[in-house]
Structure 1
Amino acid sequence: MSWISDHLLTLNGTLVLIAVFLLPALESSVFLGFVIPGETAVVIGGVTAYNGTNPLWAVLLASVAGAIVGDSIGYAVGNRWGDALLTRIPHKLLKPAHIRQSKDLIARLGGRAVFAGRFAAALRALVPGLCGLSDMRYRTFAVWNMLGGAVWATAFTLIGYFAGASWHRIESYANTASWILVGVIVVAVAGLLYLKHRSEKRASARFEDDPEDGTRTGAATGAGSDAADSVDQPTG
């Protein structure tokens, strides 16, 4: 993605701010995140603030707005056309495994999945739409979307700002860290689902054992009652 970054640095300040807004906004709304991660533009925006091309507050505002607006559109698209769109996206861009991982994340974490997914490149483009598809309440989604978008955009803008001339190395680390986080989230969700499955299996086994105990107890009680009746019954 270095060619994109190099090209962004050749633009004037206004065009950079537009890119800082648009790339995060298009990540989940049109699934651009599978091709170009939004943090690329945000980090470069921070670099331009370091160079004096743009004021830092303007880069922060553009990146936060882009992240929040884009995911809100992604939620609306998923809520309205989610199933139809998922079937049309080529598997090269959207693997079924990514869909399963995102759905597991949403089922397990609820609104917190919006925040967690914001920091993982492969999930960031999917989670908002899947939240809409899953009929998550928009109020819940909006709260976590604003929180996640603000933290994510601020973090990557400041990374670019403080990296300065070393932004190439930082950008590479940021992309790698996003994919590592995907793996961590997937492993964590898989572990939690496995523990939940084992817990439900044990509960089911105990439930199956209890009726047998009850039957045996009832049989023993019935036998005792019959014996007592035979003792109490007068002999001819």
Structure 2
Amino acid sequence: MLEQFNVLVDGLPPGLIYLLIAFLVFAEAALFFGFVFPGETAIVVGGVLASQGKLSLPLLLAISVAAAVVGDSVGYEIGRRYGVRLLDTKPMTKHRVKVGKAQDLIRRRGAFAVFIGRFTALLRALMPALVGASRLPYSKFLLFNVIGGVVWVCTFTLGGYYAGEAFDHAAKLAGRGLAIALAVAVVAAIVVWSVRKHRRENAVEEEAEATAPEPAQTGT
């Protein structure tokens, strides 16, 4: 996915790249894009592009944090307005086990669940709306939303930035061909690990749904 996004933005003007990254980070929770495309992919690639001088790192960090905070705030407002009706939507029913775990996390940790959820792709898409539906005060939500957004953006953007610098350094020392081969091997290993992790999570979720008791039927 990282490689696909990198190909997508290659050759685009910087302003459009900033806009695309901001949209993907914003839409992760605001439009539930996180079910399909993790926003961290966009900011990691943004960090790599910043290491190549194509983007300004400080500006990228500021734009990404703002998009993350505003996107989660929109997700919170959606949950606050639609409440329990939100649980009947397709994304929620499809992942009902993880929704249940997220709700339990909110009950146990309160606003801190917003910070915890920021670092898991699916929870990042779910948590703001579920917190809004739980009627947690927005002031508490916003505090942990901002803290989580800053830590998350800095972690993955700087990770991409230093990975890009390391690649350029390796290319100078060992030759670009060897550096590319090493980068491809690392990306392949990450992809394999991510796919296997995703399959394990799906298997656990399907097993939990299969063994979950059916809702009680009420007579008329």
Confirm or deny a common fold (TM above 0.5). Answer: yes
**How much identity, in percent, do the aligned residues show?**
40
The residue that corresponds to 1:31 in the other structure is 32
* Aligned positions of 1:64-143 closer than 5 A: 64-90=65-91, 94-143=94-143
Give the 3-state SS of the residue equivalent to 2:12 in structure 1: coil
The residue that corresponds to 2:50 in the other structure is 49
RMSD, aligned α-carbons: 2.7
CA distance in 1, matches of 2:188, 2:123: 19
Moved more, 144-153 or 166-175: 166-175
The aligned length equals: 181
CA distance in 1, matches of 2:22, 2:53: 18
- The aligned amino acid for 1:120 is T
* Aligned positions of 1:1-236 closer than 5 A: 1=1, 2-90=3-91, 94-164=94-164, 165=167, 166=183, 169=186, 173=190, 176=194
Return the offset for 1:130.
0.4
Return the offset for 1:88.
2.3
Give a deviation string over 1:129-161, Cα, whole Å, max 9, x none. Answer: 000000001111000000000000011110110
CA distance in 2, matches of 1:49, 1:89: 37
- TM-score, normalization by structure 1: 0.69
- The aligned amino acid for 1:107 is R
CA distance in 1, matches of 2:107, 2:185: 37
The answer for unaligned runs of 5 or more in structure 2 is: 168-182, 202-220
The residue that corresponds to 1:227 in the other structure is none
Give the 3-state SS of the residue equivalent to 2:55 in structure 1: coil
- TM-score, normalization by structure 2: 0.74
Larger Rg: 1
